[in-house]
Protein backbone atom coordinates (compact mmCIF):
# COMPACT_ATOMS: atom_id res chain seq x y z
CA UNK A 1 0.00 0.00 0.00
CA UNK A 2 1.24 3.49 -0.88
CA UNK A 3 -0.13 6.95 -0.27
CA UNK A 4 -0.60 7.19 -4.05
CA UNK A 5 -2.76 4.07 -4.06
CA UNK A 6 -4.90 5.52 -1.26
CA UNK A 7 -5.07 8.94 -2.95
CA UNK A 8 -6.15 7.38 -6.25
CA UNK A 9 -8.84 5.33 -4.49
CA UNK A 10 -10.04 8.40 -2.58
CA UNK A 11 -10.18 10.32 -5.87
CA UNK A 12 -12.38 7.60 -7.40
CA UNK A 13 -14.91 7.53 -4.57
CA UNK A 14 -15.05 11.34 -4.44
CA UNK A 15 -15.66 11.51 -8.21
CA UNK A 16 -18.42 8.93 -7.82
CA UNK A 17 -20.00 10.91 -4.96
CA UNK A 18 -20.19 14.00 -7.17
CA UNK A 19 -22.18 12.02 -9.73
CA UNK A 20 -24.59 10.77 -7.09
CA UNK A 21 -25.51 14.26 -5.84
CA UNK A 22 -26.86 13.14 -2.48
CA UNK A 23 -28.85 15.60 -0.38
CA UNK A 24 -26.54 15.06 2.57
CA UNK A 25 -22.82 15.17 3.18
CA UNK A 26 -21.39 11.66 2.87
CA UNK A 27 -18.74 10.29 5.20
CA UNK A 28 -15.62 8.51 4.03
CA UNK A 29 -15.72 5.06 5.62
CA UNK A 30 -12.75 2.74 6.12
CA UNK A 31 -13.63 -0.96 6.36
CA UNK A 32 -11.18 -3.46 7.85
CA UNK A 33 -11.28 -7.24 7.40
CA UNK A 34 -8.95 -9.07 9.76
CA UNK A 35 -7.52 -12.57 9.40
CA UNK A 36 -5.68 -15.17 11.47
CA UNK A 37 -6.75 -13.67 14.78
CA UNK A 38 -9.04 -14.84 17.59
CA UNK A 39 -11.23 -11.92 18.60
CA UNK A 40 -13.02 -14.00 21.22
CA UNK A 41 -9.87 -13.31 23.22
CA UNK A 42 -10.38 -9.73 24.46
CA UNK A 43 -6.68 -8.86 24.32
CA UNK A 44 -6.70 -9.34 20.53
CA UNK A 45 -9.55 -6.90 19.89
CA UNK A 46 -9.02 -3.51 18.33
CA UNK A 47 -10.16 -0.69 20.60
CA UNK A 48 -8.47 2.57 19.65
CA UNK A 49 -9.18 6.29 19.86
CA UNK A 50 -7.37 8.20 17.13
CA UNK A 51 -7.05 11.97 16.74
CA UNK A 52 -7.27 12.56 13.00
CA UNK A 53 -4.71 15.14 11.83
CA UNK A 54 -7.24 16.79 9.52
CA UNK A 55 -10.35 16.21 11.60
CA UNK A 56 -13.39 14.03 11.03
CA UNK A 57 -15.16 16.39 8.65
CA UNK A 58 -18.07 16.46 11.06
CA UNK A 59 -16.90 17.23 14.57
CA UNK A 60 -17.54 14.65 17.28
CA UNK A 61 -20.43 15.46 19.61
CA UNK A 62 -19.57 15.59 23.29
CA UNK A 63 -21.69 15.37 26.45
CA UNK A 64 -20.49 16.35 29.93
CA UNK A 65 -21.62 15.14 33.34
CA UNK A 66 -20.77 17.95 35.76
CA UNK A 67 -21.91 20.31 38.48
CA UNK A 68 -20.77 23.56 40.01
CA UNK A 69 -17.85 25.45 38.55
CA UNK A 70 -16.93 22.81 35.96
CA UNK A 71 -20.48 22.86 34.59
CA UNK A 72 -20.51 26.66 34.38
CA UNK A 73 -17.04 26.89 32.77
CA UNK A 74 -17.48 24.07 30.31
CA UNK A 75 -21.10 24.31 29.18
CA UNK A 76 -20.21 26.42 26.15
CA UNK A 77 -17.56 23.91 25.02
CA UNK A 78 -19.77 20.79 24.88
CA UNK A 79 -22.94 19.81 23.06
CA UNK A 80 -24.85 18.68 26.14
CA UNK A 81 -24.49 19.22 29.89
CA UNK A 82 -25.95 16.60 32.22
CA UNK A 83 -26.18 17.70 35.86
CA UNK A 84 -26.02 15.22 38.78
CA UNK A 85 -29.73 15.59 39.54
CA UNK A 86 -30.54 14.52 35.96
CA UNK A 87 -28.64 11.22 36.22
CA UNK A 88 -31.33 9.47 38.26
CA UNK A 89 -34.05 10.67 35.90
CA UNK A 90 -32.12 9.35 32.89
CA UNK A 91 -31.48 6.00 34.60
CA UNK A 92 -35.25 5.67 34.95
CA UNK A 93 -35.82 6.44 31.28
CA UNK A 94 -33.35 4.19 29.47
CA UNK A 95 -35.00 4.79 26.09
CA UNK A 96 -34.32 8.52 26.39
CA UNK A 97 -30.75 7.96 27.54
CA UNK A 98 -30.03 5.42 24.79
CA UNK A 99 -30.98 8.14 22.29
CA UNK A 100 -28.58 10.57 24.01
CA UNK A 101 -25.84 7.93 24.03
CA UNK A 102 -26.30 7.23 20.32
CA UNK A 103 -26.29 10.93 19.42
CA UNK A 104 -23.02 11.72 21.23
CA UNK A 105 -19.59 10.34 20.36
CA UNK A 106 -17.85 10.99 23.67
CA UNK A 107 -18.80 11.54 27.30
CA UNK A 108 -16.75 13.37 29.93
CA UNK A 109 -17.56 13.32 33.65
CA UNK A 110 -16.49 15.09 36.78
CA UNK A 111 -14.47 12.37 38.54
CA UNK A 112 -16.62 12.18 41.73
CA UNK A 113 -19.67 11.37 39.57
CA UNK A 114 -18.08 8.30 37.95
CA UNK A 115 -19.28 5.68 40.50
CA UNK A 116 -22.87 6.95 40.22
CA UNK A 117 -22.74 6.99 36.42
CA UNK A 118 -21.29 3.48 36.37
CA UNK A 119 -24.06 2.11 38.59
CA UNK A 120 -26.97 3.90 36.92
CA UNK A 121 -26.04 4.42 33.26
CA UNK A 122 -23.15 1.99 32.74
CA UNK A 123 -25.40 -0.63 31.17
CA UNK A 124 -26.10 1.81 28.33
CA UNK A 125 -22.68 3.43 27.99
CA UNK A 126 -20.47 0.36 28.56
CA UNK A 127 -21.57 -1.78 25.60
CA UNK A 128 -21.29 1.26 23.32
CA UNK A 129 -17.71 1.90 24.44
CA UNK A 130 -18.79 5.31 25.71
CA UNK A 131 -18.04 5.25 29.43
CA UNK A 132 -17.06 8.82 30.37
CA UNK A 133 -13.52 10.08 30.62
CA UNK A 134 -13.09 11.28 34.22
CA UNK A 135 -11.71 14.77 34.87
CA UNK A 136 -11.02 16.67 38.10
CA UNK A 137 -13.75 19.15 39.17
CA UNK A 138 -11.32 22.08 38.57
CA UNK A 139 -10.22 20.88 35.12
CA UNK A 140 -9.95 23.12 32.08
CA UNK A 141 -11.62 21.06 29.38
CA UNK A 142 -10.78 23.33 26.44
CA UNK A 143 -7.84 21.29 25.10
CA UNK A 144 -9.44 17.93 25.83
CA UNK A 145 -12.67 18.86 24.04
CA UNK A 146 -10.73 20.27 21.08
CA UNK A 147 -8.88 16.96 20.66
CA UNK A 148 -12.05 14.90 21.07
CA UNK A 149 -13.78 16.91 18.33
CA UNK A 150 -11.26 15.38 15.86
CA UNK A 151 -11.16 11.91 17.44
CA UNK A 152 -12.61 8.70 16.06
CA UNK A 153 -13.11 5.32 17.70
CA UNK A 154 -12.03 2.11 16.01
CA UNK A 155 -13.54 -0.97 17.68
CA UNK A 156 -13.61 -4.51 16.35
CA UNK A 157 -15.47 -6.12 19.29
CA UNK A 158 -15.65 -9.81 18.27
CA UNK A 159 -16.12 -9.16 14.55
CA UNK A 160 -13.25 -9.45 12.06
CA UNK A 161 -15.03 -6.87 9.88
CA UNK A 162 -15.44 -3.37 11.31
CA UNK A 163 -15.39 0.18 10.06
CA UNK A 164 -14.68 3.74 11.08
CA UNK A 165 -14.82 7.25 9.61
CA UNK A 166 -11.87 9.05 7.99
CA UNK A 167 -13.56 12.33 7.03
CA UNK A 168 -16.25 13.46 4.63
CA UNK A 169 -16.62 14.18 0.93
CA UNK A 170 -16.00 17.93 1.33
CA UNK A 171 -12.41 17.34 2.45
CA UNK A 172 -9.45 17.29 0.08
CA UNK A 173 -8.02 14.03 -1.27
CA UNK A 174 -4.75 14.76 0.47
CA UNK A 175 -6.32 15.31 3.89
CA UNK A 176 -8.47 12.20 3.61
CA UNK A 177 -5.42 10.17 2.49
CA UNK A 178 -3.40 11.33 5.50
CA UNK A 179 -6.25 10.48 7.87
CA UNK A 180 -6.63 7.00 6.37
CA UNK A 181 -2.89 6.38 6.61
CA UNK A 182 -2.91 7.32 10.31
CA UNK A 183 -5.87 5.00 10.97
CA UNK A 184 -4.28 2.02 9.22
CA UNK A 185 -0.98 2.46 11.04
CA UNK A 186 -2.73 2.61 14.43
CA UNK A 187 -4.80 -0.49 13.70
CA UNK A 188 -1.68 -2.34 12.52
CA UNK A 189 0.17 -1.36 15.69
CA UNK A 190 -2.65 -2.71 17.85
CA UNK A 191 -2.69 -6.14 16.18
CA UNK A 192 -0.55 -9.03 17.40
CA UNK A 193 1.00 -9.64 13.97
CA UNK A 194 0.50 -6.16 12.53
CA UNK A 195 -0.14 -6.08 8.77
CA UNK A 196 -0.20 -9.90 8.71
CA UNK A 197 -3.52 -9.78 10.60
CA UNK A 198 -5.15 -7.51 8.01
CA UNK A 199 -6.91 -9.39 5.22
CA UNK A 200 -8.12 -6.34 3.34
CA UNK A 201 -9.06 -2.69 3.73
CA UNK A 202 -11.70 -0.89 1.66
CA UNK A 203 -12.85 2.73 1.54
CA UNK A 204 -16.20 4.11 0.41
CA UNK A 205 -18.54 7.04 0.77
CA UNK A 206 -21.66 6.44 2.87
CA UNK A 207 -23.79 5.42 -0.12
CA UNK A 208 -21.13 4.73 -2.72
CA UNK A 209 -19.23 1.69 -4.02
CA UNK A 210 -16.10 0.38 -2.30
CA UNK A 211 -12.49 0.71 -3.42
CA UNK A 212 -9.91 -1.71 -2.08
CA UNK A 213 -6.67 -0.18 -0.79
CA UNK A 214 -5.11 -3.25 0.84
DSSP string, 121-148: HHHHHTTTT-PPEEE-TT---HHHHHHH
Gap between the Cα atoms of 7 and 1, Å rounded:
11
- Asked if 157 and 34 touch (Cβ cutoff 8 Å), the reply is no
Q: Is 120 helix (H, G, I), strand (E, B) or coil?
A: helix
What is the per-residue pLDDT for 61?
A: 98
Q: In the β-sheet with 62-65, what is the strand arrangement from edge to edge?
A: 80-82, 62-65, 106-110, 133-135
What domains can you pick out in the chain, each with its CATH number?
Answer: 3-57+151-212 (3.30.190.20), 62-148 (3.40.50.790)
**pLDDT (tens digit, 9 = 90+) per residue, 153-172?**
999 999 999 999 999 999 99
pTM of the model: 0.93
The chain-wide mean pLDDT, for the chain, equals 95
User: What is the Cα–Cα distance from 150 to 85, expressed in whole angstroms?
Assistant: 30
pLDDT tens digits, 2-26? 689 999 999 999 999 888 777 889 9
The arithmetic mean of pLDDT across residues 75-97, rounded, is 96
Amino acid sequence: MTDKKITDAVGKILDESKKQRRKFKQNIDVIFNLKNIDLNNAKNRVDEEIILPHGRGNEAKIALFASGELAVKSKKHVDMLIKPEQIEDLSGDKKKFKKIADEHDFFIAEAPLMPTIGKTLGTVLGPRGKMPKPVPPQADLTGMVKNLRSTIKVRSKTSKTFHTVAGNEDMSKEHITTNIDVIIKRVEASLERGRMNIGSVFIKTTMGPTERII
